[in-house]
Structure 1
């Protein structure tokens, strides 16, 4: 009886030692893996970037081509850079798997300042100048400029260069729409900008509440800024990203300028453009 009890007790003890040994090994392995990740974070980010890039280019964008002007936009598109850059109606641009390097956006202001601190400042202080390497795509960028709209987008895409492999410090998986506002404090022009971005969401079949907004200007805070976060997911100012060396966007749409809004009063429309009724319901 004594031998049997001792044997059972001995087996139980060995099992405990065995499980403890496994637990210690797992803890050490986890620690080493975590240490390796911390020591080289860019490698894991770059691996994700490469896999994301491959997935993005294999997924085709399903467009909404119903009504005016969406039908026209669908008919007039130019695909470049292995479909990672598409120009629609020589008006706006869709880029996929694109890297932004905010330090190459040069300006005197960040944007978002209290209006009292920048009162009577020159208007040019509220806009950026874009230098080479501001935007980068993994493709041949020759002859792209001749297809880019003749607007603020022309100066932005003149900064475009090529990358093969590049570590990034942040990855944005959500669809982002870049907007260059002009009369940001004017209610009418803000509504036209909001509708333009909403129409892009409608065209690309994106839920506005899931779409991020990137302001390309350096305007101070305005009372109408809240409308952007009300209608869309959120907004970020380009100037606020200066501390990040490079940002990888899964899908970045470059909106047309304010003067090309489909609800601009100079268009003398007889009927409402696409998705306007839905937009009005969202805003009200």
Structure 2
């Protein structure tokens, strides 16, 4: 058991408060300063190059790319620790909200987006996708960096699945349904007569298993068809907000990469979970066009474009060596805007709000990492008037997703033991 008792010291919150007061001064000082309007910015330790289809200036430094798009400089980092807010972030030059109705023109547009090499700011994941694409069957099966793939013109045949659906919130991998050969029926074409054997990172991952079930077939006109780009996801920790957010973040990056609004993307869960009562489902339903589950399919469905997304455990959200989560502000804005939640503005004349996230046993799991004297801390903060901080104690499992996001968006200080609840740090105001 890793129970921790935090000794209360008046200086602890006082220092945090002082830091936020100093940030008030910084905000006032920087509020009227915009990004440079010139196309070339000289920054130490970076390389300037001309790249992209339109020969747009691109700044390459460390692991990120900053490009000048319509006069807007996109720079996520200046130097080692100085962050510059992503301003006026724009999508790649591809149609936003492609509605796929099975016609070749729509499919060609999406393929063009995949081929787009315009110099834009993207995470390392997407940069690697651009330069490591492998065409396994013409343009019908495109693999990205051995961790994701795009299938053009594929039917998901639910009849080719073994096992039963599971209603248990705590189901295991062994309980889920297993696809067999023919589960993915890929339409053959003049350039797609044989699928090369794909190799995905993690030999036992769901992507490797899915690849073994792909079978080439003639085009079929007798199955229902999806009209939207669909992202196929296999959830590993569907009830955990941290792992759910890593899956959502991965899907968000796919939409950004293809230049499609996430609200125009469908999600297909290809796992054995059948219950629709999961507290995490509202996240998915609110952020994307539609959500569908393998256990609820009763007939084959044709997908003009089906993206196999990488594993949630391979998400940039779990890359603890990165200096910052790529596109974090864009992602947070996407989530909060979908729930119609606004970030709190720092008001130096009002008391600060501290959110104390408590951890307890949840869904038959015994939680070991806990702060044993939470009530003592809460009492001490709220009764130390000179500090100017009001603390709120909360158990996140008792709240719906929207309520959790609102708490994070209006907090100045987030306190908690290491755990999934600290995922809410993604949605804190910039000054927090």
- Per the normalisation by structure 2, the TM-score is 0.48
Give the stretch that moved more between structures: 200-209 or 65-74.
65-74
Equivalent residue of 2:113, what SS? coil
Closer, same or farther: CA 277–148 of 1 in aligned 2, 3 Å? same
The yes-or-no answer on 1:166 pairing with 2:220 is yes
* Equivalent in the alignment of 1:106: 162
Check the 8 A contact 1:90/1:149 in 2, yes or no. Answer: no
What does the per-residue CA deviation read over 1:174-228, in whole Å, with 9 as the maximum and x for residues that have no partner? 1000010011111111111110110111111111001000001122331111100
Q: What is the alpha-carbon distance in structure 2 between the residues aligned to residue 177 and residue 122 of structure 1?
A: 22
The yes-or-no answer on 1:278 pairing with 2:330 is yes
Closer, same or farther: CA 53–100 of 1 in aligned 2, 3 Å? farther
Q: What is the alpha-carbon distance in structure 2 between the residues aligned to residue 231 and residue 141 of structure 1?
A: 36
Q: What is the alpha-carbon distance in structure 1 between the residues aligned to residue 335 and residue 105 of structure 2?
A: 37
Larger radius of gyration: 1
Q: What is the alpha-carbon distance in structure 1 between the residues aligned to residue 311 and residue 212 of structure 2?
A: 17
The yes-or-no answer on 1:252 pairing with 2:306 is yes
Unpaired runs of at least 5, structure 2: 1-100, 337-432
What does the per-residue CA deviation read over 1:48-98, in whole Å, with 9 as the maximum and x for residues that have no partner? 86xx35862585225475332222221111012121111011110011111
Give the stretch that moved more between structures: 53-62 or 146-155.
53-62
Check the 8 A contact 1:169/1:247 in 2, yes or no. Answer: yes
Report how far residue 172 of structure 1 moved.
0.8
**1:7-26 aligned within 5 A:** none
The yes-or-no answer on 1:68 pairing with 2:119 is no
The yes-or-no answer on 1:56 pairing with 2:111 is no
* Equivalent in the alignment of 1:81: 137
The yes-or-no answer on 1:93 pairing with 2:149 is yes
Closer, same or farther: CA 149–73 of 1 in aligned 2, 3 Å? farther
Choose which of 220, 236, 239 in structure 2 pairs with 1:182.
236
Q: What is the alpha-carbon distance in structure 2 between the residues aligned to residue 120 and residue 57 of structure 1?
A: 42
Choose which of 258, 267, 285 in structure 2 pairs with 1:213.
267
The yes-or-no answer on 1:228 pairing with 2:278 is no
Q: What is the alpha-carbon distance in structure 1 between the residues aligned to residue 177 and residue 305 of structure 2?
A: 22
Check the 8 A contact 1:57/1:83 in 2, yes or no. Answer: no
Q: What is the alpha-carbon distance in structure 2 between the residues aligned to residue 263 and residue 122 of structure 1?
A: 23
Give the stretch that moved more between structures: 145-154 or 94-103.
145-154
Report how far residue 159 of structure 1 moved.
0.8
Closer, same or farther: CA 172–66 of 1 in aligned 2, 3 Å? same
Give the stretch that moved more between structures: 161-170 or 130-139.
161-170
Equivalent residue of 1:132, what SS? coil
Choose which of 227, 252, 256 in structure 2 pairs with 1:202.
256
Q: What is the alpha-carbon distance in structure 2 between the residues aligned to residue 262 and residue 87 of structure 1?
A: 19
Higher helix share: 1
Q: Aligned residue pairs: how many? A: 224
Q: What is the alpha-carbon distance in structure 2 between the residues aligned to residue 80 and residue 103 of structure 1?
A: 25
* Equivalent in the alignment of 1:144: 197
Check the 8 A contact 2:136/2:196 in 1, yes or no. Answer: no
Report how far residue 143 of structure 1 moved.
2.7
Give the superposed CA RMSD. Answer: 2.3
Choose which of 316, 324, 333 in structure 2 pairs with 1:262.
316
Check the 8 A contact 2:133/2:144 in 1, yes or no. Answer: yes
Choose which of 226, 237, 243 in structure 1 pairs with 2:293.
237
The yes-or-no answer on 1:124 pairing with 2:174 is yes
Closer, same or farther: CA 122–68 of 1 in aligned 2, 3 Å? closer
Check the 8 A contact 1:57/1:96 in 2, yes or no. Answer: no
Q: What is the alpha-carbon distance in structure 1 between the residues aligned to residue 154 and residue 248 of structure 2?
A: 24
**1:17-36 aligned within 5 A:** none
Check the 8 A contact 2:154/2:303 in 1, yes or no. Answer: yes
* Equivalent in the alignment of 2:43: none
Give the stretch that moved more between structures: 174-183 or 162-171.
162-171
